[in-house]
């Protein structure tokens, strides 16, 4: 904002204050999920004229959804699973044991940290029975979710 040619005639301190005020107002409105009438009333109390209030509200309405998504994503949460990859292998032998002949799965869960971005993925091996157990439990969770949304 400080580099904008249209604003170069204004005292930078005033500009900063305006920016901070506008940002605070927008963030509070977003946080409280305020509707347009609440925002207008608030701005009226601040003695803004009708035209400015209308402009502000229109712009706010345009960006409201993006703002809510952004605010909603701030905050701590456990590692978030984003994707899964798997590998099926058939073990034949190891140097300690020959003729093993067992299928085995290698599953990797791609995870993301809420703030700092990357985190090493969670990998583990499992047998077919264990994978069936895992999938069974996940399906239970999904069924519960479905029931909860129907309540």
Partner 1 sequence: KLNVGVDAIQHGVEGLTYLLTESSKLMISEIDFQDSIHVLGFSDELNKLLLQLYLDNRKEIRSILAELAPKLPSYHSLEWRLDVQLASRSLRQQIKPAVTIKLHLNQNEEQTAQVLQTDPSTLLHLIQQLEQALGEMKTNHCRRIVRNMK
Q: Can you give the binding site for partner 1, defined by CB under 8 A?
A: 30-33, 68, 71-72, 74-75, 77-86, 88, 90, 92, 94-101, 103, 105-107, 109, 111, 122-126, 128, 130-135, 137-142, 144-145, 148-149
Closest CA to 126 of 100, 97, 102: 102
| Cβ-based nearer residue to partner 1, 62 or 143 | 143
Sign of CA dihedral 115, 118, 120, 121: positive
Asked whether 15 and 4 are in contact (CB, 8 A), the reply is no
Closest approach of partner 1 to the CB of residue 21, in Å:
19
Closest approach of partner 1 to the CB of residue 103, in Å:
6
Q: In the beta sheet, which residues pair with residue 106? A: 87, 125
C-alpha of 17 from chain center: 30
Closest approach of partner 1 to the CB of residue 29, in Å:
11
| Cβ-based nearer residue to partner 1, 10 or 128 | 128
Closest approach of partner 1 to the CB of residue 131, in Å:
6
Q: Which residue has the tokens 């309540």?
A: 151
Closest approach of partner 1 to the CB of residue 4, in Å:
28
Alpha-carbon span 56 to 49, nearest angstrom:
11
| Cβ-based nearer residue to partner 1, 3 or 146 | 146
Alpha-carbon span 34 to 25, nearest angstrom:
11
| Cβ-based nearer residue to partner 1, 59 or 140 | 140
């Amino acid at each position: 904002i400080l580099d904008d040619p249209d604003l170069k005639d204004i005292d930078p301190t005033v500009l900063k204050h305006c920016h901070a005020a506008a940002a605070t107002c927008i963030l509070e409105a977003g946080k409280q999920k305020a509707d347009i009438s609440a925002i207008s009333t608030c701005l009226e109390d601040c003695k803004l004229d009708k035209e400015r209030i209308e402009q502000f509200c229109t712009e706010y309405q345009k960006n409201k959804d993006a703002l809510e998504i952004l605010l909603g994503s701030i905050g701590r949460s456990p590692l978030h699973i984003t994707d899964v990859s798997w590998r099926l292998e058939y073990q034949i032998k190891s140097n300690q044991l020959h003729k093993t002949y067992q299928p085995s799965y290698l599953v990797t869960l791609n995870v993301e940290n809420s703030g700092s971005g990357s985190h090493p993925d969670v990998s583990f091996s499992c047998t077919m029975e264990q994978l069936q157990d895992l999938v069974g439990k996940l399906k239970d969770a999904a069924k519960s979710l479905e029931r909860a949304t129907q309540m």
